[in-house]
Amino acid sequence: MHETNTLVALAKARTPVVVTGLGVACAIGLSVPEFTSNLFSGKSGIGSVEGFSTDPYDCKQAGEVRGVGPPRGMESERDRTVWLACKAADEAVQDSGLSFTENLGARTAVVIGTSVASVFAFFKWKKARAKSESKGVFGSPPYLSPARVAGILCERFGVSGGSMTAVTACSAGASAIAMATDLIRLDRADVVIACAADPLSEVSFSGFSGLSSLSMTVSRPFDQRRSGVLLGEGGGAIILEGEHHARTRRARIYAAVAGYGLSNDAHHPTQPDPAAGGAIRSIRSALADAGVDASEMNYINAHGTSTKYNDLMELTAVRQIYGPSVGHIPISSIKPMIGHTLGAAGMIEAAATVLALYHRQLPPTLNFECPIEGYEYDFVPTSRPVEEANIMSSHSFAFGGNAACIIFTKHRAEGERAK
């Protein structure tokens, strides 16, 4: 069923995709410079939850974003998902240097990733309604739909080349990057604003708490003493652009999107497949799509939730894919710094991977001390420079079985590539 010749022909025909803008709003930074500085200095953004009372819960901590409010020009907007998305997207668009004329707007699409989205506002409304016994209506249909964020961003930047929304839970950000990549590869757009956002909601907090997945101490992915995840919130945005388009306007190019892989482990709604089937298929597809050999990988930005089963599943996948060379590949998770930002995680962590590639510096796995027996790999306990920074990947896994892997490569000038 597989036709190698077709794959080769496709790879030659499709438009290369590059990253020309970044935007981040999360617990360790409200801008890319702040995020970068804290990312590489290993600063934790985890603190006591202020957004709602944690009295009913044993866990009291999360990675909240302080100092974000309604976006410029939208002062009456109440949905925190929109706040975070606009904050990140505004920065990414500005960073890219793009201004959307009518023609460019028609060739630009918005792709959103989110999981919580409208549920955040819906929960608040339900709570208020229970107190006041008001019989008001939550809102018109768009307020119930995650697609509203994409509509708002299209309007904000004047783009009309399509609005899409990935809702694959904790892999939504990575799914959005994959969908955005295809839009450019298949000449459906020249530019895509890929953005993901999720607020810290009591609904998610309660859900993870009920599943006994929240840590009472710290998040320490891949550590023998890991005891669960800490949640976070945030927005991330990446401007993807056709390479030729970016070069023509002399844009700064952070990295290239070399490939992606999407799959599903088809195992259980919440528990990861112990054999890591979905993760393995997504990583393998991404490597094939990127035309990269596993031995060439320079760094893996792991999903690394710090839960017992998810970390083991991810390490099983990594060992299976990278074989004996896995011990030489630095692997880190930034969730101990920013919390698990759910639908935004894939996008913010992809941005961290791009920054690692661009600055040749690895973000650390904060709080990591003792490896799990049998998995004594390089988990980057403290940030450090990296000698080889050519190919790096980002993993995302989700409830519902979704698995995603995005591979970024160092962007090379045309002459450099010919050599």
Residues facing residue 24 across a β-bridge: 236
Using the minimum distance from each CB to another protein, give the nearer residue, 162 or 221.
162
* 46 in Cβ contact with 63 (< 8 Å): yes
Residue 215: which of 63, 111, 86, 106 has the closest Cα?
63
Single out the residue of 60, 138, 224, 225 in contact with another protein (rule: CB under 8 A). 138
Is residue 303 annotated as a catalytic residue, yes or no? yes
- The one catalytic residue in 59, 195, 245, 303 is 303
13 touching another protein, by CB under 8 A: yes
What are the structure tokens assigned to 53, written together? Answer: 């009372």
51 touching another protein, by CB under 8 A: no
139 touching another protein, by CB under 8 A: yes
34 touching another protein, by CB under 8 A: no
Binding to another protein in span 321-380, by CB under 8 A: none
Contacts of 236 (CB under 8 A, 6+ apart): 23, 24, 25, 26, 88, 173, 195, 196, 197, 341, 344, 347, 348, 350, 351
Is residue 86 annotated as a catalytic residue, yes or no? no
The distance of closest approach from Cβ of residue 94 to another protein in the complex, given in angstroms and rounded to an integer, is 21
> What gap in Å lies between CA 408 and CA 339, rounded to an integer?
23
Quote helix, strand, coil % in the chain, to nearest 5.
Answer: 40, 20, 40
Using the minimum distance from each CB to another protein, give the nearer residue, 61 or 332.
61
208 touching another protein, by CB under 8 A: yes
Q: Nearest 5°: CA angle at 152, between 341 and 174?
A: 35
Quote the distance between the C-alpha of residue 190 and its chain's center: 22
Single out the residue of 41, 53, 101, 127 in contact with another protein (rule: CB under 8 A). 127
Binding to another protein in span 183-202, by CB under 8 A: 185-188, 202
* 102 in Cβ contact with 183 (< 8 Å): no
| Rg, Å, the chain Cα set | 20
Using the minimum distance from each CB to another protein, give the nearer residue, 399 or 408.
399
216 touching another protein, by CB under 8 A: no
A 10 A CB-CB count for 371 gives 15
Single out the residue of 203, 275, 294, 372 in contact with another protein (rule: CB under 8 A). 203
Single out the residue of 285, 298, 333, 409 in contact with another protein (rule: CB under 8 A). 285
Single out the residue of 278, 330, 339, 346 in contact with another protein (rule: CB under 8 A). 278
267 touching another protein, by CB under 8 A: yes
Among the candidate windows 86-94, 321-329, 392-400, 408-416, which touches another protein by CB under 8 A? 392-400
306 touching another protein, by CB under 8 A: no
* 117 in Cβ contact with 143 (< 8 Å): no
What are the structure tokens assigned to 126, written together? Answer: 């339900």
> What gap in Å lies between CA 246 and CA 393, rounded to an integer?
22
The distance of closest approach from Cβ of residue 188 to another protein in the complex, given in angstroms and rounded to an integer, is 7
Single out the residue of 37, 41, 56, 328 in contact with another protein (rule: CB under 8 A). 56
2 touching another protein, by CB under 8 A: yes
The distance of closest approach from Cβ of residue 167 to another protein in the complex, given in angstroms and rounded to an integer, is 4
A 10 A CB-CB count for 296 gives 15
The residue written with tokens 């403290």 in the block is: 382
> What gap in Å lies between CA 244 and CA 250, rounded to an integer?
10
Q: Which residues are catalytic?
A: 170, 303, 340
